[in-house]
Amino acid sequence: MLSKNNEMMNRDLEVIWHPCTQMKDHETLPIIPIKSGKGVYLYDFEGNSYIDAVSSWWVNLFGHSNTFINEKIKAQLEKLEHVLLAGFTHEPAIELAHKLVNITPEGLAKVFYVDNGSSAVEAALKMSYHFHLNNGKKKPVFLSLTNSYHGETIGALSVGDVALYKETYEPLLIANKQVPVPVDQTQEAAEAALSILEKVLHDQADEIAALILEPLVQGAGNMHMYHPAYLIGARELTRKYGVHLITDEIMTGFGRTGKMFACDHAGISPDFMTLSKGLTGGYLPLSVVMTTDEVYSAFYCDYNEYKAFLHSHSYTGNPLACTAALATLELFEKDDVLGNNEKKSRYILERAEKIAELSNVKEIRQQGMITAIELQGYSAEDRIGISVYKYALTRGVLLRPLGHVVYFMPPYTISYEEIDKMVDVAWEGIAKVNKES
């Protein structure tokens, strides 16, 4: 007889095509059916538990099935599940927009609701292009950083630079150009990259609508990190050359980098900020594009001037999702989340020191509640991350390395004991592949 997990897996594989997956891998690699979640733990159908060390693709902030968020959503569910946001509005969308305006950098004054990260990036790109057009300028090119990731719809993919996702679709993409991301976390690297940015803007600002970047940490780009000086410089240069700055805080937002927003480390305010992932605490798909009164005003006129931003999604500003987001922000207000995270980050780094001693570890880097361990001596074909992933699962930890980078990005509610377990298991997994190689 098949085990309950295997039974579920087989039923899954009959009909589901999974994201970011070569499905043939699952001839040998089991799919894990999850029955329930609580706190940092996920439970399968046979009662095995897994510490969710990647916050279910970077979305979860306060644990699975969080009682406080659950109650808020249940209460909202009894009132209103959804209504269109054109011509109509509702309380959760209004309250959330006010809160977001209050907590994001000065100058971001308007909230455009979307329903997932990639779509927020699409909306920001379109808004930027359209803003310039409304001001009589045609600027069809977008600038982004090497090694960047902004999502996988066509526009978002165009401004990304991860070959694995982008290369195949190259003929379909919109006009884009990349400037180098700072090579490491030093200020010198930031300054070197800024001098190239300055040159490109100097030569081509006429055709460039916006520079889009992931502030401080490039998530899907193997958790590459750089110095906030780059953000300060990029803000000055984009302003000087009449190019928008779009900060994609879909991953970095809501405390992940140690401050509420990564932009806060540099004290900058962008023309557009995209937010999603942690926005709803990891509960429901929702995203926003935040922008300035200046941008908003460029679209504000009589209907027959045809300058309106006619972009929409069916589930824009869903009330349940907005409620989850409001509950999530309330949790930030109730506790010193960022202060506690600072202590936890420091502890994770201390505990990870023994991992740095392994000969197949190149470096460990950290930015707030993101800690990345870069392995060395492997080629892409080794798929070394999968070996670590498989080992960690046998020990009850969900790590999902990006290529040869193992990382910790746990829910903020992780306890010190759970951190010990997470780090120990990563150490064991990395030591194991070191011995085998």
Ligand X SMILES: *Cc1c(COP(=O)(O)O)cnc(C)c1O
Q: Which residues bind ligand X (CB under 6 A)?
A: 116-118, 121, 149-151, 214, 219, 248, 250-251, 276-277
Q: Which is nearer to ligand X, 127 or 251 (CB)?
A: 251
The first and second tokens of residue 6, run together, are 């295997």
Spatial distance between the Cα atoms of 131 and 297, rounded to a whole number of angstroms: 9
Q: How far is the CB of 369 from ligand X (least distance, A)?
A: 14
Alpha carbon separation from 398 to 223, 360, 375 (Å, rounded) = 17, 21, 18
Task: Using alpha carbons only, give the angle 247, 253, 258 rounded to the nearest 5 degrees.
Answer: 115
| CB neighbours of residue 33 within 10 Å | 16
Q: Which is nearer to ligand X, 160 or 429 (CB)?
A: 160
DSSP one-letter code for 23: G
Q: Which is nearer to ligand X, 120 or 361 (CB)?
A: 120
8 Å CB contact between 249 and 260: no
User: Does 312 appear as a known binding residue?
Assistant: yes
Across-strand partners of 39?
A: 64
Nearest alpha carbon to residue 221 among 365, 430, 95: 365
Q: How far is the CB of 121 from ligand X (least distance, A)?
A: 6
User: Does 149 appear as a known binding residue?
Assistant: yes
User: Does 385 appear as a known binding residue?
Assistant: no
Alpha carbon separation from 19 to 16, 23, 57, 385 (Å, rounded) = 9, 9, 12, 17
User: Does 351 appear as a known binding residue?
Assistant: no
Q: Which is nearer to ligand X, 286 or 295 (CB)?
A: 286
User: Does 136 appear as a known binding residue?
Assistant: no
Across-strand partners of 177?
A: 143
Q: Which is nearer to ligand X, 50 or 149 (CB)?
A: 149
Q: How far is the CB of 116 from ligand X (least distance, A)?
A: 4
Alpha carbon separation from 411 to 89, 122, 323, 364 (Å, rounded) = 32, 28, 19, 20
Q: How far is the CB of 28 from ligand X (least distance, A)?
A: 27
Alpha carbon separation from 95 to 99, 102, 171 (Å, rounded) = 6, 11, 42
389: helix, coil or strand?
helix
Q: Which is nearer to ligand X, 116 or 318 (CB)?
A: 116
Q: How far is the CB of 54 from ligand X (least distance, A)?
A: 12
Q: How far is the CB of 59 from ligand X (least distance, A)?
A: 8
Q: Which is nearer to ligand X, 286 or 426 (CB)?
A: 286
Q: How far is the CB of 209 from ligand X (least distance, A)?
A: 18
What are the phi and psi torsion angles at 318 (to 5°)? -55, 130
H helices, E strands: number in the chain: 14, 16
Q: Which is nearer to ligand X, 40 or 251 (CB)?
A: 251
Alpha carbon separation from 74 to 82, 323, 324, 434 (Å, rounded) = 14, 10, 10, 48
Residue nearest to ligand X (CB): 117
Q: Which is nearer to ligand X, 156 or 425 (CB)?
A: 156
User: Does 277 appear as a known binding residue?
Assistant: yes
Q: How far is the CB of 119 from ligand X (least distance, A)?
A: 7
Spatial distance between the Cα atoms of 220 and 70, rounded to a whole number of angstroms: 29
Q: Which is nearer to ligand X, 118 or 341 (CB)?
A: 118
User: Does 57 appear as a known binding residue?
Assistant: yes
416-436 vs 384-394: helix crossing angle, rounded to 10: 130
DSSP one-letter code for 81: S
8 Å CB contact between 149 and 221: yes
User: Does 359 appear as a known binding residue?
Assistant: no
Q: How far is the CB of 153 from ligand X (least distance, A)?
A: 7
Spatial distance between the Cα atoms of 76 and 88, rounded to a whole number of angstroms: 17
Q: How far is the CB of 282 from ligand X (least distance, A)?
A: 12
Q: What are the binding residues for substrate?
A: 57, 149, 277, 312, 400
Q: What are the binding residues?
A: 57, 117-118, 149, 248, 277, 312-314, 400
Q: What are the binding residues for pyridoxal 5'-phosphate?
A: 117-118, 248, 313-314
